[in-house]
């Protein structure tokens, strides 16, 4: 230590602790510079707010039948901003209401798969050996189950229920998550800082949750933003097949299905829910791309 630095140290002693710049903060700064991702994020925020408070702005409710205006095109006069469907329900309210359900399914099912997937994958990857083998073979077996068959069985046994959709989608999606997390864990496990933690006597659960999980969150977050639109699509697909949410509740998928049937006579019934759905999917994908670039700048 030279003299200069020891006086520096003395003055630093009085100074406040310097705030560090975490990797998360760096990533946030990079993300803010990405215009496409930022625009997508703002749009998505607007979409969420609209979906939450929008229905209150209309005089109609999602299940109210307006017999005076059946299958009418959009008009400001009647306050059916997006028109009405074949049984006279207001499409504006129904589109936003369906958005609530679509987004809810997307977010909740992804969160469920995220939590199960991280816990399962990190445990298998970190413990390794026979336990890893056993746990991943269980995943393989679950993968082999035909998804559609599984959903139809659930619907037949328990009736159509929004909870069942969460279960069905979550049960399939966590498998991917578990595999990704396991792979990441295995590569992280060999890093020296994990070895250092073992040498310090840190307990295994703490190593998994303090050392492994924060380091794989970057990859996981990117995967999540790409999973949410996928889940929304799966739900739309199920609704399209008539296996999704139950009337009078609706979702974007169900609305697109109804709209497609009336496409030739009432195009607005297809255009509004379909464009909301497409816009949301776009936003999620752009955010996912932006996050990937922001979280792993070396990978560009």
Q: Can you give the binding site for another protein, defined by CB under 8 A?
A: 1, 8-9, 12-13, 15-24, 191-193, 195-203, 210-211, 214-215
The angle formed by the CA atoms of residues 133, 218 and 48, to the nearest 5 degrees, is: 115
Distance of closest approach, residue 5 Cβ to another protein, in angstroms: 8
CB of 220 to another protein, least distance (A): 13
Q: Quick one: 13 or 68, whose CB is closer to another protein? A: 13
Burial 110-129 (b: 16+ CB within 10 A, else e): bebbbebbbbbbbbbbbeee
* C-alpha pair distances (Å), 300 with each of 30, 265, 284: 12, 47, 19
Nearer to another protein, 11 or 265 (CB): 11
Min CB(31)–another protein separation in Å? 17
Taking the least distance from each CB to another protein, the nearer of 80 and 292 is: 292
Residue of 233, 225, 227, 235 whose CA lies nearest to 283 = 225
Separation between Cα atoms, residue 196 and residue 168, nearest integer Å: 41
Q: Which neighbouring-strand residues pair with 90?
A: 84
Is the Cβ of residue 17 or residue 77 nearer to another protein in the bound state? Answer: 17
Residue 28 in tokens: 């946030």
| Structural tokens at position 105 | 């399914």
- Closer by beta carbon to another protein, 13 or else 299: 13
Q: Closest approach of Cβ 297 to another protein, in Å?
A: 12
| Residue placing its CB nearer to another protein in the complex, 23 or 278 | 23
Can you tell me the distance from the alpha carbon of 177 to that of 169, in angstroms, rounded to the nearest whole number? 13
Q: Can you tell me the distance from the alpha carbon of 133 to that of 228, in angstroms, rounded to the nearest whole number? A: 29
Choose between 9 and 148: whose C-beta lies nearer to another protein: 9
Give the shortest CB-207-to-another protein separation in angstroms: 10
Of 185, 151, 146, nearest to 166 by C-alpha is 151
In the bound complex, what is the minimum distance in angstroms from residue 218's beta carbon to another protein?
Answer: 9
Residue 270, SS3 per DSSP? helix
Measured CA to CA in angstroms, residue 76 lies from 42, 80, 81, 82, 92 at distances of 27, 6, 6, 9, 11
Least separation in angstroms between CB 219 and another protein: 13
């Amino acid at each position: 230590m030279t003299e200069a630095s020891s006086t520096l140290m003395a003055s630093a002693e009085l100074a406040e602790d310097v705030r560090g710049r975490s990797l998360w903060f760096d990533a946030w700064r990079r993300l803010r510079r990405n215009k496409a991702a930022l625009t997508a994020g703002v749009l998505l925020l607007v979409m969420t707010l609209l979906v939450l408070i929008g229905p209150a702005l209309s005089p109609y409710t999602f299940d109210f039948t307006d017999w005076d205006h059946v299958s009418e095109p959009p008009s400001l006069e009647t306050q059916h901003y997006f028109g009405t469907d074949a049984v006279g329900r207001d499409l504006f309210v129904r589109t936003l209401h369906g958005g609530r359900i679509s987004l809810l399914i997307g977010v909740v099912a992804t969160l469920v798969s995220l939590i199960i997937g991280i816990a399962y994958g990190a445990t298998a990857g970190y413990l390794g050996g026979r336990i890893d083998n056993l746990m991943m073979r269980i995943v393989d077996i679950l993968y082999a189950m035909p998804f559609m068959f599984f959903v139809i069985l659930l619907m037949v046994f328990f009736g159509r229920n929004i909870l069942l959709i969460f279960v069905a989608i979550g049960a399939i999606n966590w498998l991917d998550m578990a595999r990704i997390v396991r792979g990441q864990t295995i590569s992280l496990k060999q890093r020296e800082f994990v070895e250092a933690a073992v040498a310090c006597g840190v307990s295994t659960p703490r190593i998994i949750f303090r050392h492994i999980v924060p380091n794989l969150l970057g990859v996981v977050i990117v995967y999540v933003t790409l999973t949410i639109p996928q889940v929304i699509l799966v739900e739309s697909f199920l609704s399209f097949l008539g296996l999704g949410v139950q009337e009078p509740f609706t979702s974007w998928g169900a609305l697109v299905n109804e709209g497609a049937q009336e496409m030739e006579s009432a195009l607005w019934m297809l255009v509004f829910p379909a464009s909301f759905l497409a816009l949301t999917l776009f936003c999620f994908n752009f955010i996912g791309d932006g996050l990937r670039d922001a979280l792993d700048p070396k990978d560009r």
